Structure 1
Amino acid sequence: MSSEASGAPKFRQIAEQIRARILSGELRPGDEIPSERAVAAEYDVSRPTATKSLMLLRELGLVHSVQGSGTFVSDLAVNRRASERYTKARTSGRIYADGTRAEIVAAEVVPEAPEHVVRALQLDAGSAAIRRHRITWEGDRRAETSTSWFNAELAGTAPQLLVRERIFSGTLTYVETQTGRRGTYARDRTCARAAGVDAEPLGLGDESAPVLVVEHTVYDQSDRPIEFAVAVYPADRWTYEQRYDLS
């Protein structure tokens, strides 16, 4: 439910819109955000309302003010949520923001997919599946390691899934384009654990280091799974937020 639809105060609605631009990568660290006067004019609100919007963004750690210069996007050591990545992909044609790159380390058909993949993609036991494994970098730091799984039947209609090169629009957008299927909703399962074998690709150096694991499944308009992805993040590269009503 959007802030506006839920009747949230106007200053929160404005802050949420600016926050979405920051987390989508439209506004990058160091970018100047509109002044209080500009926010008041753009959203047709009073200066006090604009002031409260920017104050909320500062409280969330998304922006900081420099005396005599303005308000700027802070350097966020967090990963963007999948929903925000998809929004960026569909509006800009690119799933990653500037300064972020993905190294594809595997793109292959696995003859017999692991049991949890078979279950997530609703395949028959012993079925093959396409596996794309990547390491995502932000600057010179490893920010995420992830594996996307697809039904092996897509090998013919979406051959780029088997090429160890980035798909700049994102794998989901590419599969949608090739098949006509469209992702309509997703489910995430989140847990924390020791890094184990993921310590090395994340550059942690300690298999007991804590990591966050997100299992992400995208479904099409017929409730059939399109993509099952498992992403692993270092403890200091992730933030989780949820808005909910208390009434």
Structure 2
Amino acid sequence: MPSGPRGVRWRPVANATGRKGVAVPDLQRVLPKYLQIANHLRDQILRGDLRPGAEVPSERTLAVDWKVSRPTATKALEALRVQGLIESRQGSGSYVVDQMGVHRRARERYGRGRETGAIYPPNEWARIVAAEIVAAPEHVEAALGGDVPRVIRRHRITHGDDGPVEVSTSWISAALADVAPRLLQTERIREGTLAYLASVTGLRARLARDRVTARLATDTEAADLELGPGPHAVLVVRHVVCTEANQPLEFVEAVYPPESWTFEQEYPVTS
């Protein structure tokens, strides 16, 4: 049985309409059932699988698919309403709201890749504009653990419905070029760089860490993101992926345009 995001186990079910092949996670005891359902739908929204305006499953459908009571399903949808992710329309159902500035973090893309085999939702696509071996910039060599004088540089521009939504550069040790030749091609690696590396090298990602900052866009970034005359504030995420041996495998610098990103965090508050 395949694994889903956050170590969840998946199972096929038939919903209330009788359609088959719907995959939902097995419920866990760690979180309340309604939160597990809400988190599953939230991940689909953040990944772009459920786009603004899309109808989310009804309380009845959720109750059948997840084998829970109607009040539990109702509570799950209410949790999403409180988070501002969905809205109810009288006599119609619940729909994903237009989320201004939802940033698709690497975690959401990894989860989507595991589920669907593709890391981008239908309304996003990436164009690789450079794939080459270069001397490693000092900060890139440091991020990859040092002693990595030459690296593979893959530079991409990710587009959405209304234009560029992200500019990113992946850096990987040039020592992997011979066994992973697709890294030096400008064709997209549909399954994602990490899945490809795992298939040809056996090196598997174990953990990732992100460092988030904000600064003014460079002239090149402003041009890639089609921002026009500046200055423009951009979000910069430096993303390091490590192997099971805790060795850095990939370093990614991603830049996001203004008014197109937000971050959310939930944590307990004690009095």
What is the TM-score when the length of structure 2 is the normalising length? 0.82
Matched, 1:229 2:252: yes
Aligned with 2:170 (options 136, 145, 148):
148
Aligned with 1:36 (options 27, 43, 59):
59
Q: CA separation in 1, counterparts of 2:29 and 2:254?
A: 31
Alignment correspondent of 2:20: none
Alignment correspondent of 1:81: 105
Matched, 1:54 2:77: yes
The 8 Å contact of residues 90 and 173 in structure 1, kept in 2 or not, is answered as no
Structure 2 residue runs without a partner (length 5+): 1-5, 8-26
Aligned with 2:237 (options 202, 206, 214):
214
Q: CA separation in 2, counterparts of 1:48 and 1:101?
A: 39
Structure 1 residue runs without a partner (length 5+): none
Amino acid aligned to 1:139: D
Measure how far apart 1:8 and its partner are: 4.4
Amino acid aligned to 2:124: T
Q: CA separation in 2, counterparts of 1:161 and 1:44?
A: 44
Q: CA separation in 1, counterparts of 2:156 and 2:97?
A: 27
Q: CA separation in 2, counterparts of 1:166 and 1:132?
A: 10
1:5-154 equivalences under 5 Å are 8-77=31-100, 78-110=102-134, 112-124=135-147, 127-154=149-176
For residues 206-226 of structure 1, what are the alpha-carbon distances to aligned partners after superposition, in whole Å with 9 as ceiling and x for unaligned?
442111100000000111111
| Count of residues paired in the alignment | 245
Q: CA separation in 1, counterparts of 2:69 and 2:198?
A: 43
Amino acid aligned to 1:164: T
Amino acid aligned to 2:234: V
For residues 151-173 of structure 1, what are the alpha-carbon distances to aligned partners after superposition, in whole Å with 9 as ceiling and x for unaligned?
01111111111111111111111
Measure how far apart 1:84 and its partner are: 1.4
What is the TM-score when the length of structure 1 is the normalising length? 0.90
Q: CA separation in 2, counterparts of 1:79 and 1:166?
A: 21
Alignment correspondent of 1:158: 180
| RMSD value, Cα | 2.3
Aligned with 1:186 (options 208, 229, 236):
208
Amino acid aligned to 2:263: Y
Q: CA separation in 2, counterparts of 1:118 and 1:228?
A: 9
Alignment correspondent of 1:241: 264
Three-state SS of the structure 2 residue aligned to 1:199 is helix
Alignment correspondent of 2:12: none
For residues 32-84 of structure 1, what are the alpha-carbon distances to aligned partners after superposition, in whole Å with 9 as ceiling and x for unaligned?
21112222333344433322321221232322223322212233342211011
The 8 Å contact of residues 196 and 207 in structure 1, kept in 2 or not, is answered as no
Amino acid aligned to 2:110: Y
Q: CA separation in 1, counterparts of 2:133 and 2:251?
A: 14
The 8 Å contact of residues 157 and 178 in structure 1, kept in 2 or not, is answered as yes
Three-state SS of the structure 2 residue aligned to 1:192 is strand
Matched, 1:169 2:191: yes
Three-state SS of the structure 2 residue aligned to 1:27 is coil
Identity of matched residues, %: 51
Most deviating of 141-150 and 74-83: 74-83
Q: CA separation in 1, counterparts of 2:29 and 2:146?
A: 39
Measure how far apart 1:232 and its partner are: 0.4
Q: CA separation in 1, counterparts of 2:200 and 2:121?
A: 24
